[in-house]
Structure 1
């Protein structure tokens, strides 16, 4: 048995159903011998994006594995792994390495030295005898602790090396679910029950722990409204009477109203990262933070209490504790009708204000009209939607009211244009019965458009909606002279013909009256098993919910 076969055997036993990568690796053939198909992208970066999309939407314990060629393959994958690091994606990254003895010779790129700051564990195998234990250790780290990429570099000569090693049949690595201390649970519950205007800020830890059921049950029991971070959008149905929406850079009015007046904020499964793309926590609030990562506690905001624990475990502890306090629970229950009505009224006023944008019938088409049509065409109970960086994110997140856990793949701490195409393909790989769609600007599509062919070739029929306005949306303000003198914010091109040339379905819509029928055709196309691209000619729209007008700031990482 070779090193590659040892790796493939362990990965299959541990739950790998596909192996993702580009362009070559000894693991592809070794996995294929075990009937595990490869998903080979057109670029290493998109391969890692696919693995992230799979890891963040799978409803099973499938292992998300990506491999790339040593040297330039690992170098090109760096951006994707950095994105996965910021998105807290539990991806197993297995780059091949230079032959042992030459890895440290300049200018050879040694992955285990260069990825340390964007992985939570980063090692290289030097002896084939150590391979089984190191691989199992890597898999255990993927499944436990703070979700993040884990890297194990596999030298190419080690993968080819024959070995008669008798390695043990490892048990399936399972997720540990640490609980909070009983005194910490008492403090959280007493703070929430004693507060006048408490709010829960749910983070991605709720989704990672698959704790939506417990979150909804707890919110209903204590009558506390819930908002989510951008990465956690879908942690609670946004049609629920206690749902406030997503606290992103652009956000619905419900978020601002309730977070501004909150006296206690429970950040549940959130790192509370300060970011240009996330609505900040106002000064002077009493913040309680629960995270599985101790490094999150008090990282960016002062907290009154920091608790290390798995969200599902902690929520179950809180549910048990609340049920023991009938008096306080009854006091909170008395506000249920009033609270739900206030949230509904605030949401209705917000939607009434923005509905003229969403029903606009002018041409070029309003991007908000596109958002509305997507919401009305897609079956949100059976769809997974994501967005790209920039205006598509800010125009889409405040309005798309996702209903199912993992029905929306949100992101935003780093904003690499084009990431959503790989995310969508990964989601389709994880959930083949779902209709998966991404909304992109044309600059984002320009970064990764050739990988639309990956969706066609690998039978990952996703719907790509490209908003075309021939500008870098919002960037004119950051380079006014270059824009005025040289049109530096302009781009050009047509994208539906590219989709057709790459083997998929492509069409372009100019008239808003034709938009819905075009969307319906594209949805039918992906349901029939063929990737589709809908190009929509829109105008640049600088008005964003929660911001009023386009900020003079540009995306710090939107490149």
Structure 2
């Protein structure tokens, strides 16, 4: 035990847990933030609590280390709202807020609103720190909770609107548990009998397929997934969270399945007679509301969280453990056995992929102006460095990037918004903080970019040198069909007073970026995209590429079994 302030202990513990960045809105734990001055921890002051949460989320997903976000008591509700995406994406976060002093409860104390319950639904662990002596053990608990099992956000409310309890001194123990620096802290395996049973079960089927989810990425199991699929010659689809767990140009890859998907992937999963979900919650987006695959299909599921096993499909077999460890077990055993012949099935799935590529090739190479989003994605695919990271916003951005961007190098990766529009840009800033030496490109629509556009100043102030590609169609064009339906016709919706309700005033985001200290590049000709991207990657500065795109370009809806085959 050492006599020290809670602020000093907090800073030392973050340092020893190998935290490199803290994203915050003042005033919260100012003493601790000051103590971090010479500890190598970068303090990123943002323009909003949600931005701070989103940056911490992107940092966590890229580094597999807990992201730290902080706000004073009055900003707690905003921070809680920002944790929703991290919770849905199973990202390890630790959120710190201030809380009311106990002597002022129920007396209209400064900033007093009971917001603890707002964190219940978006965290794995939600706790008050009401005495300085509890900071060490509850902070250790926060790291254990955030990283163990299926990762997720944690919230600690430090007493005092600004967490002032930490300013006091006490005998404190700054011990940390290094095991919980990064996910996963444990790699549970299954017994050999289960491995043998699963491999024997797979041999009973003629058309098996793997669906690799975000758990493969969280486990760092990309290499083991590829080795297992190659050993058995089983095709692989991925969820959007699992994109990049298998190179797009691999002969076993059929692409992203689900709502934001390729038709070839959805068709392959629906035609399969056995689906092996690995690190996937089998949620509504991955399965198009449980239509892909259809209920009744034989399912094997591997997940670190036993609660997820059989949640949405009646599993034929379940494996509870770490994806990397168990895939290695499966591959090692499979190498010693004669495998089944899935060559006819593999040839068929390759044909589905070829058919899909042939259909979309004209759009990927389109010279149309305004520019097609498919062409933007193709140029990103072509320009992305071998270790580059694509970060996507939601909606159309997720649909375009999930289906169209090709990640062919094993070092390339993909991080997607789990649902909240506007997440992409601040999320990508967090990714860049975690991976400062890698190229990070954010794909976002203009509607999403508006949400947290003030963070351009943050990027310039802290030299967060990412590239933002804005699909600028001057509208929330994904909503156009919804408004057409609401008004009864396209004509009525277009004449809504004073303007169509889905349309924005024209803006030059390149000029706006320049005014906030970043580099701006405006592109109106698709043949200028490649040069703009290469220039942006070479500048070592935050860059916004404003791409004037087609307002009438709509992503293709997800294919389901009720749809007619073909294009």
TM-score higher than 0.5: yes
What are the superposed Cα offsets for residues 304-353 of structure 1, whole Å, 9 maximum, x if unpaired?
Answer: 233321111221222233234x23x2x33xx45x5555444432322221
Residue in structure 2 matching 1:287, options 299, 312, 316: 299
Question: Is contact 2:262–2:558 with CA below 8 Å preserved after alignment?
Answer: no
Shift of 1:112: 3.2
Whole-Å separation in 1 of the counterparts to 2:118 and 2:347: 53
Tell me the equivalent position of 1:299: 311
> What is the aligned partner in structure 2 of residue 321 from structure 1?
333
**1:44 paired residue number:** 49
Give per-residue Cα distances to partners, 1:396-434, cap 9 Å, x unaligned. Answer: 21121224567333435x421110111211111111111
Which residue of 2 is the match for residue 386 of structure 1? Answer: 391
Measured after TM superposition, the shift of residue 542 of structure 1 is 4.4
Q: What is the Cα deviation at residue 546 of structure 1? A: 5.6
Match of 2:122 in 1: 118
Distance change (3 Å), C-alpha of 1:531 and 1:399: same
Check the 8 A contact 2:258/2:558 in 1, yes or no. no
CA distance in 1, matches of 2:305, 2:536: 41
In structure 2, how many angstroms separate the alpha carbons of the residues matched to 1:546 and 1:10?
48
- Indicate the SS of the match to 2:237: strand
- 1:142 Cα shift? 1.6
Normalising by structure 2, we get a TM-score of: 0.89
| More moved, 478-487 vs 203-212 | 478-487
SS of corresponding position for 1:231: coil
Structure 2: gaps (5+ residues): 488-492, 561-567
> SS where residue 477 of structure 2 aligns?
coil
Alignment of 1:64-463 (within 5 A): 64-71=67-74, 73-102=75-104, 108-156=112-160, 158-167=164-173, 169-174=175-180, 175-275=185-285, 278=288, 280-324=292-336, 326-327=337-338, 329=339, 331-332=340-341, 335-336=342-343, 341-379=347-385, 381-403=386-408, 407-411=412-416, 414-463=418-467
Moved more, 219-228 or 400-409: 400-409
Secondary structure of the residue aligned to 1:270 is coil
| C-alpha distance after superposition, 1:32-52 (max 9, x if no partner) | 253422011111111111111
Contact 1:455 1:531 in 2 (8 A): yes
**Conserved in 1, the CA contact under 8 Å of 2:239 and 2:286?**
no
SS of residue in 1 equivalent to 2:211: strand
- TM-score in terms of structure 1 length: 0.90
Q: Distance in 2 between matches of 1:86 and 1:509?
A: 34
Moved more, 539-548 or 114-123: 539-548
Classify 1:69/1:121 alpha carbon distance in 2 versus 1 (closer, same or farther; 3 Å): same
The whole-number CA distance in structure 1 between the counterparts of 2:148 and 2:247 is 26
- Cα offset for 1:159? 3.7
Counterparts of 1:70 and 1:499 in 2: how far apart (Å)? Answer: 32
**Are 1:509 and 2:523 matched, yes or no?**
yes
CA distance in 2 between counterparts of 1:543 and 1:82 reads 27
**Which of 36, 57, 62 is 1:31 aligned to?**
36
Is 1:5 the equivalent of 2:8?
A: yes
User: In structure 2, what is the Cα distance between the partners aligned to 1:109 and 1:13?
Assistant: 33
Using the alignment, how far apart are the partners of 1:298 and 1:245 within structure 2? 24
Match of 1:468 among 468, 472, 477: 472
Partner secondary structure for residue 29 of structure 1: helix
Please tell me whether the aligned partners of residues 24 and 52 of structure 2 are also in contact (alpha carbons under 8 angstroms): yes
Distance 1:479 1:199 in 2: 39
1:495 corresponding residue in structure 2: 509
State the alpha-carbon separation in 2 of the partners of residues 277 and 189 from structure 1: 24
Question: What per-residue deviation string (whole Å, max 9, x for no partner) do you get for residues 106-136 of structure 1?
Answer: 6723443320111001101111112211111
Deviations 1:171-221 (A, max 9, x none): 313401222244433332222222101011111111111111111111111
Q: CA deviation at 1:512?
A: 2.2
Partners of 2:202 and 2:230 lie apart in 1 by 13
The number of equivalent residue pairs is: 535
> Whole-Å Cα distance in 2 between the matches of residues 192 and 483 of structure 1?
54
Q: Is the 8 A contact 1:390 1:473 kept in 2?
A: no
Answer yes or no: is the 8 Å Cα contact 2:266–2:559 preserved in 1: no
Q: Is the 8 A contact 1:367 1:541 kept in 2?
A: no
Give 5+ residue unaligned stretches, structure 1.
550-559
Q: Distance in 1 between matches of 2:235 and 2:405?
A: 18
Deviations 1:355-411 (A, max 9, x none): 1112222211111111111111222x2210011112122122112122456733343
Structure 2: distance between partners of 1:472 and 1:323: 51
**Structure 2 vs 1, CA of residues 470 and 21 (structure 1 numbering), >3 Å: closer, same or farther?**
same
Query: 1:22, 1:406 → 2: CA distance?
Result: 34
Report the alpha carbon displacement of residue 104 of structure 1 after superposing the two structures with TM.
Answer: 5.8
**Matched residue SS, 1:95:** strand
Change beyond 3 A, Cα 1:320–1:512 = closer
Distance of aligned partners of 1:405 and 1:95 in 2 relative to their CA distance in 1, 3 Å threshold: farther
* Correspondent of 1:20 among 17, 20, 23: 23
Q: Is the 8 A contact 2:56 2:69 kept in 1?
A: yes
